[in-house]
Structure 1
């Protein structure tokens, strides 16, 4: 790389370039994300405790998904354009379990006026 070469544009965190999630983010702005308190970093897990609110003695919720309009506090970017997850490596299980193209994914996309995913992105 020469001194005059432009720097590469920053990429949203969390997915490779083939991921449809990087140009969507609808799930992060559609669903309440509840998970076990044991996923919090101060309880031995990996989810930053500062990004969660207590729901009960055993359950917490991602900040931003605890009110309407829903938008997870870890979500960056614009829905349907370019998005990223600020805690992708430490995201809670409900986020890990939602698959691109699944019923929940498609329902969130429709809610935000996005078309269904075409074809299989993940094998």
Structure 2
């Protein structure tokens, strides 16, 4: 197992962005007052929910993810990312599941860390 204590370890992973559907309330899109997520990077899922393009199908990979999963990655819209991304916690079973899908070892830490 990898022992990582740096919350920025997500910049060397990105598995969650290439494993899970990133869906959220449509009002988070920049097409709406107060929204920040670039609308052109989203796709409608339901009348009230949208998803980041690329995560609505399998295999999944967010269009805003740059770099190679497990090596050197970054979110091209990080300051504008959705609540789903803001609330995803590293060092959790969900994180470990995404990492495992890419052959990456689980992270070890005392408590979950939001990225």
Same fold (TM over 0.5): yes
Other-structure match for 2:62: 72
How many aligned positions are there? 107
User: Any runs of at least 4 consecutive aligned residues in structure 1 with deviations exceeding 4 A, and if so which?
Assistant: 120-123
Other-structure match for 1:98: 88
Alignment of 1:32-71 (within 5 A): 32-44=21-33, 45-71=35-61
Structure richer in strand, relative to its length: 2
* RMSD (CA atoms): 1.7
Q: Which runs of 5+ in 2 are unaligned?
A: 1-5
Q: Distance in 1 between matches of 2:44 and 2:7?
A: 35
Q: Which protein, 1 or 2, shows the higher relative CO under an 8 Å CA cutoff with sep ≥ 6?
A: 2
**Greater Rg, structure 1 or structure 2?**
1
Other-structure match for 1:115: 105
Q: Distance in 2 between matches of 1:94 and 1:24?
A: 17
